[in-house]
Structure 1
Amino acid sequence: MQPIVRDRALADGLRVGQAAVDEGLLKATKSDVPFINEAARELTRTAGRRLRPLLVLLAARFGDPGAPGVVPTAVVVELTHLATHYHDGVRDQAAVRRGAPRPDTNWDDTVAVLIGDFLFARASHILADLGTQAVRLQAEAFRRQVTGQILETAGPRDGRDPVEHHLEVLVSRTGSLTAVSGRLGALVSGADPSAVDALARYGERLGVASHLADEVATPTGRRPTLPVLLLAERVGAGEPAGPANRTDRADLAERADLADRADLADRADLADRELYELLTGPADRPGYAEAVARLHTHPVLDRAREETARQADAARAALSTLPDRPARAALESLCEAVVRRAGAVPPAGPGAPTAPSSSG
């Protein structure tokens, strides 16, 4: 995901910075052990949007973007993201994640976990040169990330709204690393403390919005996703139906005679329940691919898109105290890009439904 950059100097600076980050990643994953070299570098070559390093580079524009700690910080946050990508692939046990082969497809789970550990170790080595404050902030972000993974595994407590629980998990699992990317990028560049805090808030909400956009695009998988949780709420699978379900029933009532209301509602509930049972069953079950296609046009997708937009709006609002610079406009354009991505409905087919990674 790239921002819209209309300022030539900023565009040139970002290109130089991203090239330096790529070079730093190659250097950081170099090992005397050929197998480690191959495994670690494979993931750096096939990585996706590099959102976190981008946030570091843009946040540094509110201080000195040429400060010596900026590029190493961007390398650290990306190595951390890649390490969690390895570990999450093992936890998910999915053959495909976000349309790309799972990172440990060619190695068993033990090796995949160890490669993730290797990347964590390399990140810690670089981080040590950035000072104790940077180490402390990164450690806190990692604590939050692990806490989110534990919360996700444990599931919501009795009486807790599963949708609220899911959003809390995303704040910890995904928002923590994007938040620290904004915070550290501003901090190592010498930005004003108020800018440091604003960019951390921005990063957290953008991370959640970006993950939700992926869940809208790929709404099913081994992990809970917001669209499936909203469908569960709608059919009463665990929690009472929310306001949107009551609105849908009201719409049905307006279109039906009084005598037919119960019948229409029952048929709608039955269709939704069958859809939910298909989506939460085995992916090789007959009718699964068709169920995924139905979910892509279901009203719960609109509710998920609304939540994505709400998180993106909160990210944009966090930038309101920052000076009006090209970097701020670029950060705002990332919010717009996330909302656009959530609005796109990709074609569904066999093998398409996979779970998004923990850090987007």
Structure 2
Amino acid sequence: MDKLTATTLELYNFICEKLPPTPSRFHYVFNLRDLSRVYEGLLLSTPDKFKSAEQFLRLWHNEVLRVFHDRLINQDDKQLVINRLSELVEQRFPSCAAHALRMPILFGDYNLEGEVRLYEDVGDFSSIKLVFEEILALYNTKKKAMNLVFFEDALEHLTRIHRTIRLQQGNSLLVGVGGSGKQSLSRLAAYTAGCVPFEITLTRGYDEIAFRDDLKKLYGMLGADNKKVMFLFTDAHVADEGFLELVNNMLTSGMVPALYDEGEKDTLINSVRPEVEKRGMLGTKESCWSYYVQKCRNNLHVVLAMSPVGETLRTRCRNFPGMVRCWPCRHTTSSAP
């Protein structure tokens, strides 16, 4: 593990040096949180699925691609990272390199309801396509039916979104033109991950007060109901730029400021006090509230689906830095009817 850790750090330093943020790559913001995300992915492994060094190294390859490579927006940048990653693996793990670097690289835990979920290498596109066709068929019997075409690009994006949602506090920024399948893939990924989807519905006169009311419902699902929820928020939902300020707060602090009045807050505090005390913590007002916020944050997965057209996205990311800094960005350019 020491050699693997040193390799991870060397790749991280290389990316930070060679791919700094620029006006056209404003989201190329890498920090130590990204390193922790790599190891969080590695911790999804189990001994029965990763029995050899080459299998574990292949898992590491997947995790560093998901954390760093998925954020990149052009082929030159992507190839730069892939070349350096390949060099490091071939230099330091020559006996495992061929297996670890083989493409495609598709990991996940896609078992259906009631089955044990085990993170594993799912093989090639034909294998994962069969899995998602079965999941989609089940989805269509329970939800509003979707007609998805699982070509390779869509399958790659689907596995990436699913991985992020399966991680605690995992959030995604999906960037692609309208009609590219961002929302459909997100809904299916959430269903596969066992997450409840949550979206707002704009009506005439929908304002920040209405948005806050909807967010109360969301936080009720996260805290009181203890449900894992995917909050899907798109360009079309930004009826007021102030909405993004609230979403930014959700990402950076875990809670929307002044979402509850004192009476509502006291009710929530009292509802979690038995849980807090059961864990051996003091049942003070402050500790109970912190526990409630953390509980909500751990259950929440925010998926932003935005268009890259024009300067709007860049301006929003500059004004609301949590949109970039609180997650690995996912750039989706695929199409899914």
Query: Is TM > 0.5 for Structure 1 vs Structure 2?
Result: no
Provide TM-score, normalisation by structure 2: 0.35
Greater share of helix: 1
Q: Normalised by the size of structure 1, how large is the TM-score?
A: 0.33
Which has more strand, going by share of residues? 2
Tell me which structure has the larger Cα radius of gyration.
1
